[in-house]
Structure 1
Amino acid sequence: MSDENKKYELVKTDTVTTSGRTLYRIRALVAIGLLVAPGDLGGYIENVNNLSVYGDAWVSGNAWVYGDAWVYGDAWVYGDARVSGNAWVYGDARVYGDAWVYGDARVYGDAWVSGNAWVYGDARVYGDARVSGDAWVYGDARVYGDARVSGDARVYGDARVYGNARVYGNARVYGDARVKERYDIQWFSNVGSESGTLTVCKAKRGLFVSRGCFSGTLPQFKKAVKAKHGDSKIGRHYATLIKSIEIWFREEKAK
């Protein structure tokens, strides 16, 4: 351990192992912020490179930080959270509960990732964003501003969820989707022959639609529905939903 580390020490007698790696519980050597006193035990890290020796960053509870992951600034990782791979958590960010942040993901600013949420790949969650529940944010997705992603929602690909947008339930936002306001997205549950979720949101060009294996524009979705379901009950139901979607986004555009 570096001689510069006067912030915490590794407790060599208190360890956990994962994927062949040994993680050590940490013990504070000085007061850290307002909540950690000298001698307080924290969570587990693999080595001093996982938790900055500067600032008020801390790992507590049963949280694990390992691999090339790095927690710094005033960020906290706690509860049963896991941060691994090359992930960074910094600024005033919070990762807690049973949340996982891994890969090359970044969580920073005042962002919170909690519950059973996963943030991974090259995803970025920042600003005052909140990702919670069983939500996943991955790929090159960005969630920022005051955005909220929760429930079983998935945000991935090149998607952007920001501003005061809300994405939850079983919604799927991906591709070139751009969701800034809560009115930029609509979703409908228990739809189609598989009783799934139909998600429609604004994109770089027009509207992005996802339903099961389908993803594309609204005109493409119309053609796919007509080809597969025709004038059946399911086809007529989809036609009604499409008309509702057109009315909604036409009126929003008019505003």
Structure 2
Amino acid sequence: MKKFELTNEFITNMFGTKLFRIRALVEFGDVEAGELGGYVEKESNLGHDDNAWVYDNAWVYGNARVYGDAQVSGDARVYDNAWVYGDAQVSGDARVYGNARVYGNAWVYGNALVCSDEDYAYAHGFGSVNRTTTFFRLKDGGVGVRCGCFYGTLAQFRDKIRETHGETKKAQEYLMLADLMELRFEEDENEVGNRKYVE
């Protein structure tokens, strides 16, 4: 039996993917029939069994799954191939992505980033709001970047920096950081066999 439906209300993420607000069809857990939830890309992002729910303005998309009695709330984002299940809770501005698994009685909240099965590095204190920028190896061997609302490749990151910051000192810092991360993730023939990836 279906416990929720996708409404006509939607938002579009940075990749142009539509995410639809969900509405409960029946009462379960602490959710009442007719209650609006967060946003999912497709029905398979949220299980119809048990009490799993996406609350508030949280997003679940890509091949991510939330099921069991798991809860995703606040402005949390769950995407790529991540799974949240059991009694796990993801809230605040937390991000769960890559091939990460959050389960059992785990709580992920605040500004936490949870990712797994990849090489990654991060830098804190750059940009106009001193945010943390995370760099990680992609399956194709390239470098991915997560910085605030931005998520894309290293080349796309450089383009976005030039577009947003022009020739300012902030732009120079970000571009130097991108150069450093390109060097950091450069192929090393001795390490290729031990490497892990982000989808």
Do Structure 1 and Structure 2 share a fold, with TM-score over 0.5? yes
Match of 1:73 among 65, 68, 71: 68
Distance 2:53 2:11 in 1: 18
1:78-98: per-residue Cα shift (whole Å, max 9, x none)? 000000000000000000000
User: Does residue 98 of structure 1 match 2:55?
Assistant: no
Match of 1:39 among 19, 25, 34: 34
2:48 aligns with 53
2:145 aligns with none
Give the TM-score of the pair, scaled to structure 2: 0.58
Aligned pairs for 1:97-176 (under 5 A) are: 97-122=92-117
Bigger radius of gyration among the two: 1
Give the TM-score of the pair, scaled to structure 1: 0.46
Distance 1:110 1:39 in 2: 28
Distance 2:102 2:119 in 1: 14
1:30 aligns with 26
Report how far residue 27 of structure 1 moved: 0.4
Higher RCO, Cα 8 Å, sep 6+? 2
2:59 aligns with 64
User: Does residue 9 of structure 1 match 2:14?
Assistant: no
Q: C-alpha root-mean-square deviation of aligned residues, in Å?
A: 2.0
Amino acid of the residue matched to residue 106 of structure 1?
Answer: R
**What's the secondary structure of 2:99's corresponding residue?**
coil
Distance 2:119 2:54 in 1: 26
Matched residue pairs, number?
122
1:38-58: per-residue Cα shift (whole Å, max 9, x none)? 010000000111000111000
Q: Deviating runs (4+, > 2 A) in structure 1?
A: none
1:21 aligns with 17
